[in-house]
């Protein structure tokens, strides 16, 4: 055990290797860049949601609302109003933050199912609104002719360019959520998740922290939505349907909360599986559903949590040390 | 206008059947089974296939009814009970989302992505009822069947819960599971029965609605959402509330879709629901439980 490098000393090396692999990835896997971009977009959404679900313990089935605010916002502001594309990312994100702050105040008072239902309602409203408000959103066929993102005079058009822009955003989001988790705010959020009354007694206002987490999740989803629209060059109700809203939650639950790798695993699995083959695409919803049921039932930390505890168990057996067998199963068992 | 109200009422009857199944399971297990919407569409498509194989519609109804009661009891035994032993209620909601997705997936694999419709239970021409100045209503025989099935199912369920020994144990389990277990109630058996009954409700809803609409693999989500909304609207765990919530949801959607188109009608229905949740969180007939924190 003592021969192995400690976590603190191993960290910079791991980061360096990870960064190198991520930078080289589009060159290593030509032809897969499109998938990588989509994975990054949803990773951004799921990382944001992890702050709300993993850290503050609140479920939201309605993240597509913010995805739509970002996507349709960017589309409308660039197509109809001719705004510069970067500004058309920032403004919808601010709007999403404001909407989340208002909705959060009202919704996050509700308990478990009622919160789930209210947010599911948001997902239904989003899909119906995007379809029904034909004059604004373009109806079922969507909004076409959205320009690409341009930054500092450069147009982000190719798959690779999109990949690198999103890589920066995902890295920022990962860094932000990881720091949040370890910092004082993260501890406050965890306290709110575990026992709101006890947290309130310690001077932590549960409503404020929950709303804050909701706002973070909303901003991440909105930015992801804008970039989704810029990448695909259109936005339609299919991209913000109730099914997408549910699959965002499935990605998080599948991979495991309170990590960065967990969401990545969940997103990659759900987005990547249909690409294995044409015949498999037919089976994908069935398999994904069954896998979700099994993972939720038997792996409380998600796939990544399960994988980590497996690695830890094998490692401990090799080291002949059984007493710390359960230390690495994640920060703790999930309570939500 | 009368026709619009009537159409909404019929849709509402179907939502009510879905919601009653969800509400019943919720009262015993405290789990919202979103997969109920999936089982409704599954039952509908099984009915269509049975009819296509030459089984008379009413015989098919009975077959599906019995089959789905057994199927849901089996699903509870194999999937939901083991899961509920290990995880909390919020994660259970996600388990039922997973189940819902798996059922949609199954439908896609077996029936493909085409919409299906079925034959009505009894042949016959629609007839028109006039109500003076309000105008006339055209009624199809199948719509009468839907109303009748809802009435029979709800009355039978209410009778079962109120007047039988089994109903008494079920109500006891719903209000105090631990106390019920202490006095010797086999709560696992009660669970199984509740799921069986909700399976029968799903079968009724699916088999009854499929002759007057088109269903395919991705309509599962909308039935799950409508049923959930109706159940909460009326107050979770209350059978009468679920019926009332379903009818109300159907009528509101029907009236709005007449003036705004069907997708904005959904927005109106959800707006109504969210407003109600914030003002009267326990639902219309629900008792004030711990809804808020």
A265 forms beta bridges with none
Residue A280 contacts B where some CB pair is shorter than 8 Å: no
> Which range is least confidently modeled, A2-6, A25-29, A153-157, A240-244?
A2-6
Confidence of residue A223 (pLDDT cuts 50, 70, 90): very high
Which residue shows structure tokens 């990547």?
A: A272
Q: What is the pLDDT of residue A118?
A: 83
If DSSP codes are grouped into helix, strand and coil, which group holds residue B277? helix
> Which range is least confidently modeled, A2-11, A81-90, A184-193, B100-109?
A2-11
Tell me the mean pLDDT in the region B149-161.
92
Tell me the mean pLDDT in the region B179-184.
89
Confidence of residue A327 (pLDDT cuts 50, 70, 90): very low
- The residue in chain A having the minimum alpha-carbon distance to the alpha carbon of residue B217 is A285
Confidence of residue A15 (pLDDT cuts 50, 70, 90): confident
B130 forms beta bridges with B136
Whole-number Cα distances in Å, B63 to A322, B46, B71, B247: 55, 10, 12, 27
Q: What is the pLDDT of residue A116?
A: 79
**Rounded distance between C-alpha atoms, residue A248 and residue A266, angstroms:** 9
A54: containing domain: 31-260
Tell me the mean pLDDT in the region A266-279.
76
Tell me the mean pLDDT in the region A311-320.
79
CB contact under 8 A, A128 and B232: no
CATH architecture of B2-279: Orthogonal Bundle (1.10)
Instruction: Read off the DSSP letter of residue A54.
Output: I
- Taking the CA of residue A161 and the nearest CA in chain B, the distance in Å comes to 34
B191 forms beta bridges with none
Residue A133 has pLDDT above 50, yes or no: yes
The backbone region for B239, taken as left when phi is positive above 0, alpha when psi lies in -120 to 50, beta otherwise, is alpha
Q: Domain-by-domain residue ranges, chain B?
A: 2-279
- Taking the CA of residue B150 and the nearest CA in chain A, the distance in Å comes to 25
Mean pLDDT of chain A: 82
Confidence of residue A98 (pLDDT cuts 50, 70, 90): very high
Of these ranges, A219-223, A273-277, B181-185, the one predicted with the greatest mean pLDDT is A219-223
Residue A206 has pLDDT above 90, yes or no: no
For chain B, give the percent of residues with pLDDT over 90: 33
Tell me the mean pLDDT in the region A282-286.
80
Exposed/middle/buried for residue A208 (C-beta within 10 Å: 0-12, 13-18, 19+): middle
The answer to whether B142 and B120 are in contact (CB under 8 A) is yes
Which residues lie below 8 Å from residue A84, measured CB to CB, with a gap of 6+?
A: A150
Q: What is the pLDDT of residue A109?
A: 73
Mean pLDDT of chain B: 86
CB contact under 8 A, B277 and A118: yes
For chain B, give the percent of residues with pLDDT over 70: 94
Is residue A299, in this structure, part of any structural domain at all? no
Tell me the mean pLDDT in the region A232-244.
86
CB contact under 8 A, B277 and A243: no
User: Of A120, A106, A104, A113, whose CA–CA distance to A65 is shortest?
Assistant: A120
Tell me the mean pLDDT in the region A157-172.
86
- The residue in chain B having the minimum alpha-carbon distance to the alpha carbon of residue A300 is B87
Residue B44 has pLDDT above 70, yes or no: yes
Compare A150 and A88 and report the one with higher pLDDT.
Answer: A88
Q: What is the pLDDT of residue A329?
A: 40
Is residue A236, in this structure, part of any structural domain at all? yes
User: Of A255, A275, A241, whose CA–CA distance to A36 is shortest?
Assistant: A275
CB contact under 8 A, B87 and A131: no
Confidence of residue B124 (pLDDT cuts 50, 70, 90): confident
Tell me the mean pLDDT in the region A92-116.
85
Residue A270 contacts B where some CB pair is shorter than 8 Å: no
Q: What is the pLDDT of residue B246?
A: 92
B293 contacts in chain A (CB < 8 Å): 109-111, 196, 206
Q: Which helix (H) or strand (E) holds A20?
A: helix A7-28
Q: What is the pLDDT of residue B261?
A: 74
If DSSP codes are grouped into helix, strand and coil, which group holds residue A47? helix
Is residue A152, in this structure, part of any structural domain at all? yes
A250 contacts in chain B (CB < 8 Å): 94, 97-98, 101
Q: Which helix (H) or strand (E) holds B169?
A: helix B165-175
Which residues lie below 8 Å from residue B186, measured CB to CB, with a gap of 6+?
A: none
Q: What is the pLDDT of residue A318?
A: 74
The answer to whether A262 and A255 are in contact (CB under 8 A) is yes
Per the structure block, which two tokens stand in for B79? 């999937």
Restricting to A residues 294-323, those with a Cβ less than 8 Å away from any Cβ of B are 296-298, 300
CB contact under 8 A, A289 and B32: no
Tell me the mean pLDDT in the region A18-24.
82
> Which range is least confidently modeled, A179-183, A331-335, B23-27, B138-142?
A331-335
- Residue A235 main-chain phi, psi, to 5 deg: -145, 135
Per the structure block, which two tokens stand in for B144? 């009468």
Of these ranges, A151-160, B17-26, B113-122, the one predicted with the greatest mean pLDDT is B17-26
**Rounded distance between C-alpha atoms, residue A16 and residue A8, angstroms:** 14
If DSSP codes are grouped into helix, strand and coil, which group holds residue A63? coil
Confidence of residue B285 (pLDDT cuts 50, 70, 90): low
Is residue A22, in this structure, part of any structural domain at all? no
Q: Where are the beta strands (DSSP E) in chain B?
A: 127-130, 136-139
Is residue A8, in this structure, part of any structural domain at all? no
Which residue shows structure tokens 């589309």?
A: A75
A323 forms beta bridges with none
Residue A11 has pLDDT above 60, yes or no: yes
Q: What is the pLDDT of residue B293?
A: 34
Residue B22 has pLDDT above 90, yes or no: yes
Give chain A's radius of gyration (CA, Å).
20
Interface-testing mutation among A116, A141, A207, A274, with chain B (most B C-beta atoms within 10 A): A116
The answer to whether A141 and B246 are in contact (CB under 8 A) is no
Residue B90 has pLDDT above 60, yes or no: yes
Residue A310 has pLDDT above 90, yes or no: no
Is residue A210, in this structure, part of any structural domain at all? yes
**Rounded distance between C-alpha atoms, residue A173 and residue A219, angstroms:** 11
Partner-chain residue, chosen from A106, A116, A118, that has the shortest CB–CB distance to B93 = A116
Q: What is the pLDDT of residue B142?
A: 87
Number of domains chain A is built from = 1
CB contact under 8 A, A110 and B277: yes
> Which range is least confidently modeled, A160-169, A324-333, B214-223?
A324-333
Q: What is the pLDDT of residue B46?
A: 94
Partner-chain residue, chosen from B102, B236, B271, that has the shortest CB–CB distance to A293 = B102
CB contact under 8 A, B264 and A334: no
The answer to whether A126 and A137 are in contact (CB under 8 A) is no
**Rounded distance between C-alpha atoms, residue A177 and residue A183, angstroms:** 10
Is the pTM above the cut of 0.90?
no
Is residue A4, in this structure, part of any structural domain at all? no
pLDDT digits (tens, 9 = 90+) for B230-265: 988 888 888 888 999 999 999 988 888 888 777 777
């Amino acid at each position: 055990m003592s021969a192995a490098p400690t976590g603190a000393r191993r960290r910079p090396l791991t980061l360096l290797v990870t960064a190198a692999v991520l930078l080289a990835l589009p060159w290593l896997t030509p032809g897969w860049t499109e998938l990588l971009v989509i994975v990054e977009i949803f990773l951004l959404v799921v990382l944001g949601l992890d702050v709300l679900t993993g850290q503050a313990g609140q479920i939201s089935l309605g993240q597509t609302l913010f995805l739509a605010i970002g996507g349709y916002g960017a589309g409308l502001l660039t197509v109809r109003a001719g705004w510069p594309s970067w500004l058309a990312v920032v403004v919808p994100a601010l709007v999403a933050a404001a909407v989340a702050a208002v909705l959060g105040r009202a919704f996050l008072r509700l308990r478990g199912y009622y919160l789930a239902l209210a947010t599911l309602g948001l997902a239904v409203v989003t899909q119906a609104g995007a379809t029904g408000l034909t004059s604004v959103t373009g109806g079922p066929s969507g909004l076409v002719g959205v320009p690409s993102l341009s930054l500092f005079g450069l147009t982000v058009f190719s798959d690779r360019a999109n990949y690198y822009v999103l890589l920066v955003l995902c890295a920022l989001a990962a860094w932000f959520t990881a720091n949040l988790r370890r910092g004082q705010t993260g501890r406050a959020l965890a306290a709110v998740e575990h026992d709101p009354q006890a947290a309130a007694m310690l001077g932590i206002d549960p409503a404020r922290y929950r709303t804050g987490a909701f706002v973070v999740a909303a901003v991440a989803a909105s930015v992801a939505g804008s970039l989704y629209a810029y990448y695909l060059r259109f936005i339609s109700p299919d991209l913000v349907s109730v099914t997408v809203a549910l699959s965002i939650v499935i990605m998080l639950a599948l991979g495991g909360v309170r990590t960065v790798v967990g969401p990545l695993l969940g997103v990659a699995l759900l987005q990547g599986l249909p690409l294995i083959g044409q015949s498999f695409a037919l089976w994908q919803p069935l398999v994904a559903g069954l896998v979700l049921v099994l993972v939720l039932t038997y792996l409380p930390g998600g796939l990544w949590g399960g994988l980590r505890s497996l690695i830890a168990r094998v490692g401990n057996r090799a080291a002949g040390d059984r007493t710390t067998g359960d230390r690495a199963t994640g920060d703790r068992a999930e309570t939500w | 206008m009368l026709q619009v109200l009537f159409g909404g009422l019929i849709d509402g009857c179907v939502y009510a059947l879905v919601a009653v199944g969800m509400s019943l399971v919720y009262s015993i297990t405290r789990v919202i089974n979103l997969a109920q919407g999936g089982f409704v569409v599954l039952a509908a498509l099984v009915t269509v296939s049975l009819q296509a194989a030459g089984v008379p519609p009413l015989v098919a109804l009975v077959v599906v009814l019995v089959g789905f009661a057994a199927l849901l009891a089996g699903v509870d035994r194999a999937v939901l009970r083991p899961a509920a032993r290990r995880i909390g209620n919020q994660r259970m909601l996600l388990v039922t989302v997973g189940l819902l997705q798996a059922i949609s997936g199954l439908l896609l694999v077996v029936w493909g992505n085409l919409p299906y419709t079925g034959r009505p239970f009894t042949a016959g021409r629609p007839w028109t009822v006039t109500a003076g100045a309000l105008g006339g209503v055209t009624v199809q025989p199948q719509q009468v069947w839907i109303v009748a099935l809802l009435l029979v199912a709800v009355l039978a369920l209410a009778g079962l819960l109120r007047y039988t020994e089994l109903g008494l144990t079920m109500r006891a389990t719903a209000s105090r599971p631990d106390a019920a277990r202490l006095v010797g109630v086999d709560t696992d058996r009660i669970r199984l029965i509740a799921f069986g009954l909700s399976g029968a409700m799903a079968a009724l809803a699916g088999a009854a609605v499929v002759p007057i609409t088109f269903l395919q693999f991705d309509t599962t989500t909308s039935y799950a959402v409508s049923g959930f909304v109706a159940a909460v609207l009326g107050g979770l765990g209350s059978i009468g509330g679920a019926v009332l919530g379903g009818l109300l949801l159907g009528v509101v959607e029907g009236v709005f879709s007449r003036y705004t188109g069907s997708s904005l009608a959904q927005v109106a229905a959800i707006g109504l629901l969210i407003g109600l949740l914030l003002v009267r969180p326990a639902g219309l007939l629900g008792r004030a439980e711990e809804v808020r924190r």
